[in-house]
Structure 1
Amino acid sequence: MEIRGVLFDVNGTLIDIETDDWGEETLGPLKYFLRYYGVRLGRQELRSRLEAGVRHHLGIIPQPFPELDWTLIWRDVLAQAGVFDHGILSGDDTGPAERRYQISLDLARMHRSLARRRLRAFPKTHEMLDDLSRRYPLAIVTDGQWAFAREELTETGLIGYFRHVTVSGDMGLRKPDTRIFHDALHAIGVDASNAVYVGNDPYRDVHGAQASGMRAILVGDKSLPNWATSGRRPDYHIRHIHEVPNALQALASR
Protein backbone atom coordinates (compact mmCIF):
# COMPACT_ATOMS: atom_id res chain seq x y z
CA MET A 1 0.00 0.00 0.00
CA GLU A 2 1.24 3.48 -0.88
CA ILE A 3 0.25 5.81 1.96
CA ARG A 4 -0.21 9.44 0.92
CA GLY A 5 -2.29 10.78 3.80
CA VAL A 6 -3.28 9.99 7.39
CA LEU A 7 -6.53 11.03 9.06
CA PHE A 8 -7.29 11.00 12.78
CA ASP A 9 -10.18 10.89 15.18
CA VAL A 10 -9.77 13.21 18.20
CA ASN A 11 -11.46 12.37 21.50
CA GLY A 12 -10.25 9.07 22.88
CA THR A 13 -7.63 8.84 20.14
CA LEU A 14 -5.45 11.96 20.30
CA ILE A 15 -7.06 13.64 23.31
CA ASP A 16 -7.69 12.08 26.70
CA ILE A 17 -11.00 13.65 27.71
CA GLU A 18 -13.58 13.16 30.45
CA THR A 19 -16.82 15.15 30.68
CA ASP A 20 -19.96 15.22 32.81
CA ASP A 21 -22.73 17.02 30.94
CA TRP A 22 -25.46 16.62 33.56
CA GLY A 23 -23.89 16.81 37.03
CA GLU A 24 -24.50 19.52 39.62
CA GLU A 25 -21.05 20.99 39.03
CA THR A 26 -22.02 21.47 35.39
CA LEU A 27 -25.68 22.46 35.42
CA GLY A 28 -25.61 24.27 38.77
CA PRO A 29 -23.67 27.32 37.52
CA LEU A 30 -25.71 27.34 34.31
CA LYS A 31 -29.03 27.51 36.15
CA TYR A 32 -27.79 30.49 38.15
CA PHE A 33 -26.47 32.21 35.03
CA LEU A 34 -29.88 31.83 33.40
CA ARG A 35 -31.50 33.74 36.26
CA TYR A 36 -29.87 36.91 34.93
CA TYR A 37 -32.18 36.43 31.94
CA GLY A 38 -35.23 35.77 34.09
CA VAL A 39 -35.12 31.98 33.70
CA ARG A 40 -35.63 30.15 36.98
CA LEU A 41 -35.18 26.42 36.47
CA GLY A 42 -33.93 23.75 38.84
CA ARG A 43 -31.15 21.44 37.70
CA GLN A 44 -33.49 18.56 36.88
CA GLU A 45 -35.89 20.79 34.94
CA LEU A 46 -33.00 22.34 33.01
CA ARG A 47 -31.67 18.88 32.22
CA SER A 48 -35.13 17.73 31.10
CA ARG A 49 -35.46 20.67 28.72
CA LEU A 50 -32.00 20.12 27.27
CA GLU A 51 -32.64 16.40 26.79
CA ALA A 52 -35.98 17.19 25.15
CA GLY A 53 -34.11 19.53 22.81
CA VAL A 54 -31.67 16.76 21.93
CA ARG A 55 -34.51 14.38 21.08
CA HIS A 56 -36.30 17.03 19.04
CA HIS A 57 -33.29 17.97 16.94
CA LEU A 58 -32.26 14.37 16.36
CA GLY A 59 -35.78 13.74 15.09
CA ILE A 60 -35.81 16.56 12.55
CA ILE A 61 -32.34 16.15 11.00
CA PRO A 62 -32.81 14.15 7.77
CA GLN A 63 -29.61 12.12 8.08
CA PRO A 64 -29.04 8.46 9.00
CA PHE A 65 -26.33 9.53 11.47
CA PRO A 66 -27.37 13.06 12.53
CA GLU A 67 -25.17 15.47 14.47
CA LEU A 68 -26.59 17.95 16.95
CA ASP A 69 -25.90 21.66 17.18
CA TRP A 70 -25.85 22.61 20.85
CA THR A 71 -26.21 26.29 20.06
CA LEU A 72 -29.65 25.51 18.61
CA ILE A 73 -30.61 23.44 21.65
CA TRP A 74 -29.70 26.28 24.00
CA ARG A 75 -31.51 28.74 21.72
CA ASP A 76 -34.67 26.66 22.05
CA VAL A 77 -34.38 26.52 25.85
CA LEU A 78 -34.15 30.32 25.97
CA ALA A 79 -36.99 30.76 23.49
CA GLN A 80 -39.29 28.41 25.41
CA ALA A 81 -38.58 30.39 28.58
CA GLY A 82 -39.65 33.61 26.85
CA VAL A 83 -36.21 35.23 26.97
CA PHE A 84 -36.50 36.43 23.38
CA ASP A 85 -39.94 37.98 23.83
CA HIS A 86 -38.82 41.29 25.30
CA GLY A 87 -35.89 43.65 25.69
CA ILE A 88 -32.76 43.76 23.56
CA LEU A 89 -33.13 40.10 22.52
CA SER A 90 -36.56 40.58 20.94
CA GLY A 91 -37.41 41.51 17.38
CA ASP A 92 -36.40 40.41 13.90
CA ASP A 93 -33.75 43.04 13.20
CA THR A 94 -30.10 42.15 12.74
CA GLY A 95 -29.04 43.40 16.17
CA PRO A 96 -31.38 41.25 18.29
CA ALA A 97 -30.81 38.25 16.03
CA GLU A 98 -27.04 38.53 16.48
CA ARG A 99 -27.44 38.86 20.24
CA ARG A 100 -29.68 35.77 20.36
CA TYR A 101 -27.08 33.86 18.37
CA GLN A 102 -24.25 35.03 20.62
CA ILE A 103 -25.90 34.11 23.91
CA SER A 104 -26.81 30.67 22.54
CA LEU A 105 -23.20 30.15 21.46
CA ASP A 106 -21.91 31.40 24.81
CA LEU A 107 -24.17 28.97 26.68
CA ALA A 108 -23.07 26.03 24.51
CA ARG A 109 -19.43 26.87 25.22
CA MET A 110 -20.09 27.50 28.91
CA HIS A 111 -21.87 24.14 29.16
CA ARG A 112 -18.88 22.42 27.59
CA SER A 113 -16.33 24.20 29.75
CA LEU A 114 -18.21 23.36 32.95
CA ALA A 115 -18.65 19.72 31.86
CA ARG A 116 -14.93 19.17 31.33
CA ARG A 117 -13.12 17.13 33.94
CA ARG A 118 -10.02 16.31 31.91
CA LEU A 119 -8.67 17.49 28.56
CA ARG A 120 -5.12 16.69 27.50
CA ALA A 121 -3.22 15.08 24.68
CA PHE A 122 -2.24 11.48 25.25
CA PRO A 123 1.46 10.94 26.07
CA LYS A 124 3.84 11.24 23.10
CA THR A 125 1.06 12.48 20.80
CA HIS A 126 2.89 15.68 19.87
CA GLU A 127 6.08 13.82 19.02
CA MET A 128 4.18 11.32 16.89
CA LEU A 129 2.31 14.03 14.97
CA ASP A 130 5.47 16.08 14.49
CA ASP A 131 7.08 13.05 12.86
CA LEU A 132 4.12 12.16 10.64
CA SER A 133 3.37 15.74 9.56
CA ARG A 134 6.81 15.89 7.96
CA ARG A 135 5.97 12.87 5.80
CA TYR A 136 2.23 13.02 5.09
CA PRO A 137 -0.61 15.52 4.88
CA LEU A 138 -2.65 15.02 8.05
CA ALA A 139 -6.35 15.70 8.61
CA ILE A 140 -8.92 15.42 11.37
CA VAL A 141 -12.34 13.77 11.08
CA THR A 142 -14.10 14.13 14.41
CA ASP A 143 -17.58 13.87 15.83
CA GLY A 144 -17.84 17.15 17.69
CA GLN A 145 -19.40 20.58 17.94
CA TRP A 146 -18.28 23.41 15.69
CA ALA A 147 -18.67 25.69 18.73
CA PHE A 148 -15.65 24.24 20.51
CA ALA A 149 -13.97 21.31 18.69
CA ARG A 150 -11.27 23.39 16.99
CA GLU A 151 -10.72 25.45 20.13
CA GLU A 152 -9.98 22.26 22.08
CA LEU A 153 -7.50 21.15 19.43
CA THR A 154 -5.85 24.55 19.79
CA GLU A 155 -5.85 24.35 23.59
CA THR A 156 -4.07 20.98 23.53
CA GLY A 157 -1.53 22.26 21.00
CA LEU A 158 -2.55 19.82 18.26
CA ILE A 159 -4.28 21.87 15.58
CA GLY A 160 -1.09 23.08 13.91
CA TYR A 161 -0.17 19.59 12.72
CA PHE A 162 -3.23 19.27 10.48
CA ARG A 163 -3.89 20.66 7.03
CA HIS A 164 -7.63 20.25 7.44
CA VAL A 165 -10.16 19.66 10.22
CA THR A 166 -13.59 18.20 9.46
CA VAL A 167 -16.02 18.52 12.38
CA SER A 168 -19.32 16.65 12.28
CA GLY A 169 -21.13 19.69 13.64
CA ASP A 170 -20.21 21.62 10.48
CA MET A 171 -21.96 19.04 8.32
CA GLY A 172 -24.92 17.97 10.45
CA LEU A 173 -23.90 14.32 10.27
CA ARG A 174 -21.65 11.97 12.20
CA LYS A 175 -19.40 9.01 11.58
CA PRO A 176 -19.72 6.37 10.21
CA ASP A 177 -21.38 8.38 7.40
CA THR A 178 -18.84 8.16 4.59
CA ARG A 179 -19.42 11.76 3.49
CA ILE A 180 -17.61 13.11 6.53
CA PHE A 181 -14.50 11.08 5.65
CA HIS A 182 -14.62 12.06 1.99
CA ASP A 183 -14.86 15.73 2.95
CA ALA A 184 -11.45 15.53 4.62
CA LEU A 185 -9.93 13.39 1.87
CA HIS A 186 -11.01 15.91 -0.75
CA ALA A 187 -9.60 18.78 1.32
CA ILE A 188 -6.10 17.26 1.45
CA GLY A 189 -6.23 15.89 -2.10
CA VAL A 190 -5.70 12.23 -1.22
CA ASP A 191 -7.56 9.26 -2.65
CA ALA A 192 -9.18 6.94 -0.12
CA SER A 193 -7.15 3.99 -1.39
CA ASN A 194 -3.97 5.81 -0.34
CA ALA A 195 -5.20 6.96 3.07
CA VAL A 196 -5.26 5.53 6.57
CA TYR A 197 -7.66 6.51 9.34
CA VAL A 198 -6.75 6.24 13.02
CA GLY A 199 -9.49 6.02 15.65
CA ASN A 200 -10.61 4.33 18.84
CA ASP A 201 -14.16 3.25 18.00
CA PRO A 202 -14.63 -0.10 16.19
CA TYR A 203 -17.90 0.94 14.55
CA ARG A 204 -17.77 4.68 13.90
CA ASP A 205 -14.06 4.83 13.11
CA VAL A 206 -13.07 1.44 11.72
CA HIS A 207 -16.31 0.63 9.90
CA GLY A 208 -16.76 4.21 8.69
CA ALA A 209 -13.22 4.53 7.37
CA GLN A 210 -13.25 1.16 5.64
CA ALA A 211 -16.65 1.88 4.09
CA SER A 212 -15.06 5.07 2.73
CA GLY A 213 -12.30 3.06 1.06
CA MET A 214 -9.53 3.67 3.60
CA ARG A 215 -7.47 1.37 5.77
CA ALA A 216 -8.20 1.71 9.48
CA ILE A 217 -6.02 1.53 12.58
CA LEU A 218 -7.83 0.91 15.87
CA VAL A 219 -6.23 2.46 18.95
CA GLY A 220 -6.79 1.39 22.55
CA ASP A 221 -7.70 -1.55 24.72
CA LYS A 222 -11.33 -1.85 23.63
CA SER A 223 -12.18 -5.44 22.91
CA LEU A 224 -12.39 -6.04 19.20
CA PRO A 225 -15.86 -6.96 18.01
CA ASN A 226 -16.57 -10.15 16.15
CA TRP A 227 -16.46 -9.05 12.52
CA ALA A 228 -17.01 -12.57 11.18
CA THR A 229 -20.47 -11.86 9.76
CA SER A 230 -19.47 -8.65 8.00
CA GLY A 231 -15.91 -9.58 7.13
CA ARG A 232 -14.67 -6.29 8.59
CA ARG A 233 -11.98 -5.85 11.20
CA PRO A 234 -9.29 -3.22 11.78
CA ASP A 235 -6.43 -3.37 9.35
CA TYR A 236 -4.13 -2.87 12.32
CA HIS A 237 -4.64 -2.69 16.09
CA ILE A 238 -2.39 -0.79 18.50
CA ARG A 239 -2.66 -0.02 22.21
CA HIS A 240 -1.14 3.47 22.26
CA ILE A 241 -1.28 6.42 19.88
CA HIS A 242 2.50 6.77 19.67
CA GLU A 243 2.59 3.37 17.94
CA VAL A 244 0.95 4.79 14.80
CA PRO A 245 4.22 5.20 12.81
CA ASN A 246 5.02 1.51 13.27
CA ALA A 247 1.48 0.57 12.24
CA LEU A 248 1.76 2.70 9.10
CA GLN A 249 5.05 1.06 8.24
CA ALA A 250 3.44 -2.35 8.57
CA LEU A 251 0.48 -1.35 6.37
CA ALA A 252 2.79 0.16 3.75
CA SER A 253 4.64 -3.14 3.44
CA ARG A 254 1.48 -5.10 2.64
Structure 2
Amino acid sequence: MIKAVFFDIDDTLYDTSGFAKRARKAALQAMIDAGLPLSQQEAYLHLRKIIKEKGSNYDKHFNILTKRVMGEEKPLLIALGMITYHNVKFALLRLFPDTMSTLIYLKKRDYQLGAISNGLTIKQWEKLIRLGLHHFFDDVITSQEANSEKPDQKIFQLALERMGCQAEESVMVGNKFNEDIIGATSVGMSAILVNSQLTEEEKEFIDREGLKVEVVSDISQVQKLL
Protein backbone atom coordinates (compact mmCIF):
# COMPACT_ATOMS: atom_id res chain seq x y z
CA MET A 1 0.00 0.00 0.00
CA ILE A 2 1.39 3.38 -1.03
CA LYS A 3 1.68 5.92 1.79
CA ALA A 4 4.14 8.48 0.37
CA VAL A 5 4.27 10.12 -3.04
CA PHE A 6 7.43 11.90 -4.15
CA PHE A 7 7.49 14.31 -7.09
CA ASP A 8 10.17 15.69 -9.30
CA ILE A 9 9.57 19.44 -9.77
CA ASP A 10 10.76 20.72 -13.17
CA ASP A 11 8.68 19.50 -16.13
CA THR A 12 6.67 17.29 -13.77
CA LEU A 13 4.65 19.83 -11.78
CA TYR A 14 5.12 22.71 -14.21
CA ASP A 15 6.53 23.38 -17.67
CA THR A 16 10.15 24.53 -17.58
CA SER A 17 11.27 23.60 -21.08
CA GLY A 18 9.89 26.65 -22.82
CA PHE A 19 10.27 29.42 -20.29
CA ALA A 20 13.98 28.99 -19.49
CA LYS A 21 15.04 29.63 -23.08
CA ARG A 22 12.74 32.64 -23.38
CA ALA A 23 13.94 34.10 -20.08
CA ARG A 24 17.60 33.67 -21.02
CA LYS A 25 17.12 35.32 -24.42
CA ALA A 26 15.27 38.24 -22.83
CA ALA A 27 18.11 38.66 -20.32
CA LEU A 28 20.74 38.61 -23.04
CA GLN A 29 18.84 41.17 -25.10
CA ALA A 30 18.76 43.53 -22.12
CA MET A 31 22.52 43.10 -21.74
CA ILE A 32 23.08 43.68 -25.47
CA ASP A 33 20.97 46.84 -25.38
CA ALA A 34 23.19 48.08 -22.56
CA GLY A 35 26.46 47.38 -24.32
CA LEU A 36 27.26 43.65 -24.56
CA PRO A 37 29.03 43.50 -27.97
CA LEU A 38 27.33 40.40 -29.36
CA SER A 39 24.28 39.49 -31.39
CA GLN A 40 21.56 37.65 -29.49
CA GLN A 41 22.44 34.41 -31.29
CA GLU A 42 26.14 34.77 -30.42
CA ALA A 43 25.34 35.61 -26.82
CA TYR A 44 22.97 32.67 -26.48
CA LEU A 45 25.58 30.24 -27.82
CA HIS A 46 28.13 31.61 -25.33
CA LEU A 47 25.62 31.30 -22.49
CA ARG A 48 24.66 27.73 -23.38
CA LYS A 49 28.33 26.75 -23.33
CA ILE A 50 28.77 28.32 -19.89
CA ILE A 51 25.66 26.58 -18.54
CA LYS A 52 26.95 23.26 -19.87
CA GLU A 53 30.30 23.84 -18.16
CA LYS A 54 28.99 25.09 -14.82
CA GLY A 55 25.54 23.51 -14.56
CA SER A 56 22.14 25.17 -14.46
CA ASN A 57 22.24 25.79 -10.71
CA TYR A 58 25.41 27.89 -10.89
CA ASP A 59 24.51 31.53 -10.12
CA LYS A 60 27.22 33.46 -11.97
CA HIS A 61 26.65 32.59 -15.63
CA PHE A 62 26.39 36.26 -16.62
CA ASN A 63 29.57 37.12 -14.70
CA ILE A 64 31.51 34.61 -16.76
CA LEU A 65 29.87 35.76 -19.98
CA THR A 66 30.90 39.40 -19.58
CA LYS A 67 34.41 38.46 -18.47
CA ARG A 68 34.96 36.18 -21.47
CA VAL A 69 33.52 38.61 -23.99
CA MET A 70 34.69 41.95 -22.54
CA GLY A 71 37.77 40.97 -20.56
CA GLU A 72 36.27 41.79 -17.17
CA GLU A 73 33.05 41.43 -15.21
CA LYS A 74 30.57 44.21 -15.94
CA PRO A 75 28.33 44.74 -12.87
CA LEU A 76 25.66 46.74 -14.71
CA LEU A 77 25.26 44.16 -17.47
CA ILE A 78 25.33 41.29 -14.99
CA ALA A 79 22.61 42.91 -12.86
CA LEU A 80 20.48 43.63 -15.94
CA GLY A 81 20.79 40.02 -17.05
CA MET A 82 19.94 38.58 -13.65
CA ILE A 83 16.95 40.84 -13.00
CA THR A 84 15.49 40.39 -16.49
CA TYR A 85 15.96 36.63 -16.36
CA HIS A 86 14.19 36.28 -13.01
CA ASN A 87 11.39 38.71 -13.94
CA VAL A 88 10.61 36.91 -17.18
CA LYS A 89 11.02 33.45 -15.63
CA PHE A 90 8.59 34.12 -12.81
CA ALA A 91 6.13 35.82 -15.15
CA LEU A 92 6.05 32.65 -17.26
CA LEU A 93 5.76 30.11 -14.42
CA ARG A 94 2.68 28.01 -15.11
CA LEU A 95 1.48 24.77 -13.54
CA PHE A 96 0.43 21.93 -15.78
CA PRO A 97 -3.40 22.05 -15.92
CA ASP A 98 -4.04 19.15 -13.51
CA THR A 99 -1.18 19.65 -11.04
CA MET A 100 -3.17 21.52 -8.40
CA SER A 101 -6.19 19.21 -8.48
CA THR A 102 -3.93 16.15 -8.26
CA LEU A 103 -2.08 17.44 -5.21
CA ILE A 104 -5.38 18.37 -3.53
CA TYR A 105 -6.72 14.86 -4.24
CA LEU A 106 -3.64 13.21 -2.73
CA LYS A 107 -3.51 15.48 0.30
CA LYS A 108 -7.18 14.89 1.10
CA ARG A 109 -6.49 11.17 1.14
CA ASP A 110 -3.67 11.61 3.64
CA TYR A 111 -0.75 10.69 1.41
CA GLN A 112 2.59 12.08 2.54
CA LEU A 113 3.91 14.32 -0.23
CA GLY A 114 7.56 15.05 -0.86
CA ALA A 115 9.71 16.48 -3.64
CA ILE A 116 13.06 15.09 -4.77
CA SER A 117 15.02 17.47 -6.96
CA ASN A 118 18.50 18.02 -8.32
CA GLY A 119 19.28 21.59 -7.34
CA LEU A 120 19.73 24.07 -4.54
CA THR A 121 17.33 23.72 -1.63
CA ILE A 122 16.26 27.37 -1.41
CA LYS A 123 15.70 27.55 -5.18
CA GLN A 124 13.45 24.48 -5.14
CA TRP A 125 11.37 25.85 -2.25
CA GLU A 126 11.22 29.19 -4.04
CA LYS A 127 9.73 27.51 -7.12
CA LEU A 128 7.08 25.78 -5.03
CA ILE A 129 6.24 28.99 -3.17
CA ARG A 130 5.88 31.00 -6.38
CA LEU A 131 3.70 28.25 -7.85
CA GLY A 132 1.53 28.22 -4.72
CA LEU A 133 2.37 24.59 -3.96
CA HIS A 134 4.64 24.74 -0.92
CA HIS A 135 1.88 23.99 1.60
CA PHE A 136 1.20 20.61 -0.06
CA PHE A 137 4.66 19.24 0.60
CA ASP A 138 5.83 17.71 3.84
CA ASP A 139 9.47 17.97 2.75
CA VAL A 140 11.73 18.82 -0.18
CA ILE A 141 14.91 16.80 -0.56
CA THR A 142 17.60 18.17 -2.86
CA SER A 143 20.92 17.08 -4.31
CA GLN A 144 22.52 19.92 -2.34
CA GLU A 145 21.44 18.28 0.93
CA ALA A 146 22.17 14.71 -0.15
CA ASN A 147 25.49 15.64 -1.76
CA SER A 148 24.44 13.46 -4.68
CA GLU A 149 22.18 13.85 -7.70
CA LYS A 150 19.44 11.66 -9.07
CA PRO A 151 19.66 8.83 -10.10
CA ASP A 152 22.17 8.11 -7.30
CA GLN A 153 20.53 6.02 -4.58
CA LYS A 154 21.74 8.32 -1.82
CA ILE A 155 19.25 11.11 -2.53
CA PHE A 156 16.30 8.68 -2.60
CA GLN A 157 17.43 7.00 0.60
CA LEU A 158 17.68 10.39 2.29
CA ALA A 159 14.14 11.22 1.12
CA LEU A 160 12.78 7.98 2.59
CA GLU A 161 14.58 8.61 5.89
CA ARG A 162 13.37 12.19 6.16
CA MET A 163 9.76 11.20 5.45
CA GLY A 164 9.94 8.17 7.72
CA CYS A 165 8.60 5.75 5.13
CA GLN A 166 9.63 2.47 3.54
CA ALA A 167 10.57 2.15 -0.12
CA GLU A 168 7.82 -0.38 -0.81
CA GLU A 169 5.28 2.12 0.54
CA SER A 170 6.51 4.93 -1.72
CA VAL A 171 6.21 5.99 -5.33
CA MET A 172 8.23 8.50 -7.36
CA VAL A 173 6.52 10.64 -10.00
CA GLY A 174 8.84 12.23 -12.55
CA ASN A 175 9.43 12.95 -16.23
CA LYS A 176 13.00 11.66 -16.64
CA PHE A 177 13.54 7.93 -17.06
CA ASN A 178 17.14 7.77 -15.87
CA GLU A 179 17.00 10.35 -13.09
CA ASP A 180 13.55 9.66 -11.65
CA ILE A 181 12.50 6.17 -12.65
CA ILE A 182 15.81 4.28 -12.50
CA GLY A 183 16.86 6.15 -9.38
CA ALA A 184 13.65 5.41 -7.49
CA THR A 185 13.30 1.78 -8.50
CA SER A 186 16.95 1.12 -7.62
CA VAL A 187 16.06 1.58 -3.94
CA GLY A 188 12.83 -0.42 -4.17
CA MET A 189 10.30 2.34 -4.81
CA SER A 190 7.57 2.18 -7.43
CA ALA A 191 7.64 4.84 -10.14
CA ILE A 192 5.31 6.74 -12.45
CA LEU A 193 6.68 8.38 -15.60
CA VAL A 194 4.71 11.48 -16.68
CA ASN A 195 4.99 13.88 -19.64
CA SER A 196 7.37 11.51 -21.40
CA GLN A 197 7.45 8.35 -23.47
CA LEU A 198 9.55 5.24 -23.04
CA THR A 199 11.91 4.11 -25.77
CA GLU A 200 11.86 0.46 -26.82
CA GLU A 201 15.19 0.00 -25.04
CA GLU A 202 13.73 1.43 -21.82
CA LYS A 203 10.66 -0.81 -22.07
CA GLU A 204 12.88 -3.85 -22.48
CA PHE A 205 14.95 -2.78 -19.46
CA ILE A 206 11.83 -2.45 -17.29
CA ASP A 207 10.56 -5.89 -18.36
CA ARG A 208 13.94 -7.53 -17.92
CA GLU A 209 14.47 -6.08 -14.43
CA GLY A 210 10.84 -6.55 -13.35
CA LEU A 211 10.52 -2.91 -12.26
CA LYS A 212 7.28 -1.42 -10.94
CA VAL A 213 6.79 1.40 -13.44
CA GLU A 214 3.64 3.01 -14.83
CA VAL A 215 3.60 5.47 -17.74
CA VAL A 216 0.93 8.17 -17.94
CA SER A 217 0.39 11.05 -20.34
CA ASP A 218 -0.34 13.67 -17.68
CA ILE A 219 -0.24 14.14 -13.93
CA SER A 220 -4.02 13.79 -13.45
CA GLN A 221 -3.73 10.04 -14.12
CA VAL A 222 -1.67 9.64 -10.96
CA GLN A 223 -4.96 9.86 -9.05
CA LYS A 224 -6.34 6.78 -10.82
CA LEU A 225 -3.20 4.74 -10.19
CA LEU A 226 -3.24 5.49 -6.46
TM-score, length of structure 2 as denominator length: 0.75
Q: Counterpart amino acid of 1:46?
A: A
Q: Per the alignment, do residues 190 and 161 of structure 1 end up closer, same or farther by CA in structure 2, a change over 3 Å counting?
A: same
Q: 2:8 matched to 1:33?
A: no
Which sections of structure 2, spanning at least 5 residues, go unmatched?
A: none
**C-alpha deviation, 1:211, in angstroms:** 1.2
User: What are the superposed Cα offsets for residues 89-126 of structure 1, whole Å, 9 maximum, x if unpaired?
Assistant: 6xxxxxxxxx9xxx57x845643654689532223322
Structure-to-structure mapping, 1:74-85, within 5 angstroms: 74-80=62-68, 81-84=70-73
Percent identity, aligned pairs only, is: 26
**In 2, Cα distance between equivalents of 1:40 and 1:156:** 36
Q: Counterpart amino acid of 1:131?
A: Y
Structure-to-structure mapping, 1:153-172, within 5 angstroms: 153-168=128-143
SS at match of 2:188: coil
Q: CA RMSD in A?
A: 3.6
**In 2, Cα distance between equivalents of 1:146 and 1:78:** 27
Which sections of structure 1, spanning at least 5 residues, go unmatched?
A: 58-66, 90-98, 249-254
User: Could you say which structure has the higher helix fraction?
Assistant: 2
> Partner residue of 2:44?
47
Q: Counterpart amino acid of 2:204?
A: A
Q: Per the alignment, do residues 54 and 12 of structure 1 end up closer, same or farther by CA in structure 2, a change over 3 Å counting?
A: closer
Q: Counterpart amino acid of 2:57?
A: D
**In 2, Cα distance between equivalents of 1:204 and 1:109:** 30
**In 1, Cα distance between equivalents of 2:148 and 2:225:** 29
**C-alpha deviation, 1:221, in angstroms:** 5.9
Q: Which has the larger radius of gyration?
A: 1
SS at match of 1:139: strand
**In 1, Cα distance between equivalents of 2:33 and 2:58:** 20
Would you say the 8 A contact 1:176–1:205 is kept in 2? yes
**In 2, Cα distance between equivalents of 1:224 and 1:232:** 16
